């Protein structure tokens, strides 16, 4: 395990916003309302665990799957939703986050000429590189909240299945 000497700024300004945004986005995409206290707890614990996972310098897909598993566990324990709903929420959130990250990389690279490799080598660039992504996702979350948007409303599906079961 290699601990970066700049781990505290990374936890505070990269992992914490990313985990909090990913959690909120995941929950909104499946129709759950955000409870700020639980979301902050998930963000903090998730950021700390994500920093440990990232410090092992695994393949990106492996670290993403581990972080997804961590988020599923946190949603089940802290947010009190079932494992299947937490899994669906997490993977929908990761897919949307992945598309936004890819677009962010393309536009930041095209606009500034900064590559991902350059951003990873310099702490300031590493912290600033995902900023447009965080802003866009925060706006998406606020819009989802305002208009009660969900890709798959799992809460409604559960209620419908309960009504069918009760008949």
**Quick one: pLDDT band at residue 166, thresholds 50, 70, 90?**
low
Domain membership flag for residue 26: yes
Q: pLDDT, tens digit, for every residue of 90-139?
A: 999 999 999 999 999 999 999 999 998 999 889 999 999 999 999 999 99
Domain membership flag for residue 1: no
Q: How many domains does the chain have?
A: 1
Give the mean model confidence (pLDDT) for residues 156-161.
Answer: 78
Domain membership flag for residue 57: yes
Domain membership flag for residue 80: yes
**Rounded-to-integer distance, Cα 71 and Cα 88, Å:** 11
Domain membership flag for residue 116: yes
**Quick one: pLDDT band at residue 167, thresholds 50, 70, 90?**
low
Give whole-number Cα distances, 23 to 6, 11, 52, 59, in Å: 24, 16, 18, 22
Q: Residue 5 pLDDT > 90, yes or no?
A: no
Domain membership flag for residue 133: yes
Domain membership flag for residue 135: yes
Q: pLDDT, tens digit, for every residue of 44-65?
A: 999 999 999 998 889 999 999 9
Dihedral angle sign, alpha carbons of residues 11, 69, 152, 133: positive
Range of the domain at 38: 7-166
Domain membership flag for residue 2: no
Question: Residues in the chain, how many?
Answer: 167
CB 90 within 8 A of CB 26: yes
pLDDT at 13: 94
**Rounded-to-integer distance, Cα 29 and Cα 94, Å:** 11
The token duo for 151 is 């890709």
Beta-carbon count within 10 A of 74 CB: 21
């Amino acid at each position: 395990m290699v601990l970066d000497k700049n781990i505290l700024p990374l936890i505070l300004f990269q992992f914490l916003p990313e985990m909090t945004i990913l959690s909120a986005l995941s929950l909104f995409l499946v129709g759950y309302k955000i409870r700020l206290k639980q979301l902050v707890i998930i963000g903090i614990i998730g950021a700390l665990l994500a920093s440990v996972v990232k410090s092992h310098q695994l393949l990106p897909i492996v670290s993403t799957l581990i972080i997804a598993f961590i988020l599923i566990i946190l949603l089940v324990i802290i947010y009190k939703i079932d494992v299947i709903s937490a899994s669906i929420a997490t993977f929908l959130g990761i897919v949307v986050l992945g598309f936004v990250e890819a677009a962010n990389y393309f536009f930041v690279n095209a606009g500034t000429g900064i590559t991902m490799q350059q951003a990873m080598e310099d702490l300031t660039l590493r912290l600033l590189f995902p900023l447009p992504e965080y802003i866009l996702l925060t706006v998406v979350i606020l819009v989802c909240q305002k208009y009660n948007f969900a890709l798959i409303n799992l809460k409604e599906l559960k209620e419908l299945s309960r009504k069918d079961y009760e008949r």
